[in-house]
Amino acid sequence: MAGNLASAGELLQLVRSGKATTRGALQDVTGLSRATVGQRLDRLFRAGWLREGAAGPVSSRLGGRPSVRLEFDDGHALVLAAVLDTRHARAAVLTLSGEVLAEHTDALTVGDGPEAVLDRLGVWFGDLLKETGRAAAEVCGIGLAVPGPVDTATGRVVQPPIMPGWDGYDIRGRLARAAAEHAATGPAVPVLVDNDANLMAYGEQRAAHPHCAAFVLVKVSTGIGAGVVVDGAIYRGVDGGAGDIGHIRVPGGEDARCRCGSYGCLAAVASGRAVARRLTEAGVPAASGSDVRELLAAGHPEAVRLAREAGRGVGEVLATVVTLLNPGVLMISGDLAGTPFLTGVRELLYQRALPRSTAHLEVVASRLGERAALAGAGALVVEELYAPARAEERLAELGV
């Protein structure tokens, strides 16, 4: 880092990452003088973004006095986060470190369209803020996970197979207006939107596998999607389409029509919706992946058999994914992510992938469960708003 160019935002990043957490360490890493470090830290203290923690080791730079540790103050602002699925949604108020202060989940059908769904989320946000007793003015941003491909530059979903009426819709603007109307947040509160599997992967990787350089999460619910985190950042492809493995054509599925309109997609033969259809055909009523999950929890033998078979189908596709990306962790999540499905994945994955690709691979189940995408949505907002350049802009807006 060029010494005299290290901004207050860059100092904040060093503290948040743990790379430099004392004044002396910041001087060493940046090459800035003690006075310049002090001036830039003063801006962060006045903004309420930093606080002093317990004394650290003795610093020779400060004449033998104990060094005071600097900490990111995760209580100075709030994040609103929400996750949409096909038939239900979850919303929460989070601290900047991801602690859930209030949470609500309920039925909400994405097929009802963006106007109704986003307005409802605004109502939930208002109720949740009241529950916490915190002020709407403390909200610094909103994160939203959706079950479709997202162009993150615009925040709009692009040709989503299971989100009728959402293609190209201004989600950011509508959700910001809904939050302003029902939760009294400022109309300029930034809204970030991403695919649900991406945000699940981001939340899970940060929580349980922060040192994994290549992390893949596969969500198997109504549809099938994957999120990829490489070197701590979400990999989205050129326009948000990375990880859409549910629409890879698979052998033996030629007669299975997918919701995207094509035949033979992986999602059409191995998703929760596909398993539910096969159960219904076998005389066991099931309408969705969540119904299959309940049957699996009850140990229903036909559900167990079909879930394992679906896992084998997904495992065959994942053999290619693992060979291509060589991840350290492959996580299975979603409605079908129980033992039968995971067993099926492992059977085909290790059978079809090269031993070299799986030698250091962990195949695991979700750790955060239904809160994974919430955690990822909150983290996405925080990383965006407190990144060095954006932090500098916000400090200027605050007049500090």
How do residues 385-398 score in pLDDT, each as one tens digit? Answer: 999 999 999 999 99
Length of the chain measured in residues: 400
Q: What is the mean pLDDT of residues 311-336?
A: 95
What's the pLDDT band for 64 if we cut at 50, 70, 90? low
pLDDT tens for residues 274-292? 999 999 999 999 998 889 9
What pLDDT, on a 0 to 100 scale, did the predictor assign at position 253?
Answer: 78
What pLDDT, on a 0 to 100 scale, did the predictor assign at position 16?
Answer: 96
What pLDDT, on a 0 to 100 scale, did the predictor assign at position 4?
Answer: 44
Distances (CA, A) of 257 to 267, 299, 317: 9, 28, 18
What pLDDT, on a 0 to 100 scale, did the predictor assign at position 251?
Answer: 85
Q: Give phi and psi for 94, each to the nearest 5.
A: -120, 150
What pLDDT, on a 0 to 100 scale, did the predictor assign at position 321?
Answer: 96
Burial of 10 (0-12, 13-18, 19+ CB in 10 A): buried
What's the pLDDT band for 196 if we cut at 50, 70, 90? very high
Residue corresponding to tokens 């066991």 = 284
Most distant pair of Cα atoms in the chain: their distance = 79
In CATH terms, the fold of domain 78-197+373-398 is Nucleotidyltransferase; domain 5 (3.30.420)
Q: What is the mean pLDDT of residues 50-58?
A: 77
pLDDT for residue 25 is more than 70: yes
3-class SS of residue 287? coil
What pLDDT, on a 0 to 100 scale, did the predictor assign at position 61?
Answer: 53
pLDDT tens for residues 130-170? 999 999 999 999 999 999 999 989 999 998 888 999 999 99
What pLDDT, on a 0 to 100 scale, did the predictor assign at position 3?
Answer: 43
The reply to whether domains 3-72 and 78-197+373-398 share a CATH topology is no
Distance (Å, rounded) from C-alpha 8 to C-alpha 70? 13
CATH annotation of 3-72:
1.10.10.10
Q: What is the DSSP letter of 263?
A: B
In the chain, what are the domain boundaries?
3-72, 78-197+373-398, 208-370
Q: What is the mean pLDDT of residues 209-228?
A: 95
In CATH terms, the fold of domain 208-370 is Nucleotidyltransferase; domain 5 (3.30.420)
Distance (Å, rounded) from C-alpha 310 to C-alpha 338? 12
pLDDT tens for residues 337-355? 989 999 999 999 999 998 9
What percent of the chain has pLDDT above 90? 84
Within a 10 A sphere around the Cβ of 250, how many other Cβ atoms?
18
What pLDDT, on a 0 to 100 scale, did the predictor assign at position 187?
Answer: 80
pTM > 0.85:
yes
What pLDDT, on a 0 to 100 scale, did the predictor assign at position 59?
Answer: 53
Q: What is the mean pLDDT of residues 299-310?
A: 96
pLDDT for residue 62 is more than 70: no
Q: What is the DSSP letter of 188?
A: T
pLDDT for residue 75 is more than 90: yes
What percent of the chain has pLDDT above 70? 96
What pLDDT, on a 0 to 100 scale, did the predictor assign at position 259?
Answer: 84
CA angle 15, 16, 21 (to 5 degrees): 25
pLDDT tens for residues 166-185? 999 999 999 999 999 999 99
pLDDT for residue 57 is more than 60: no
What pLDDT, on a 0 to 100 scale, did the predictor assign at position 88?
Answer: 92
What's the pLDDT band for 1 if we cut at 50, 70, 90? low
Within a 10 A sphere around the Cβ of 36, how many other Cβ atoms?
17
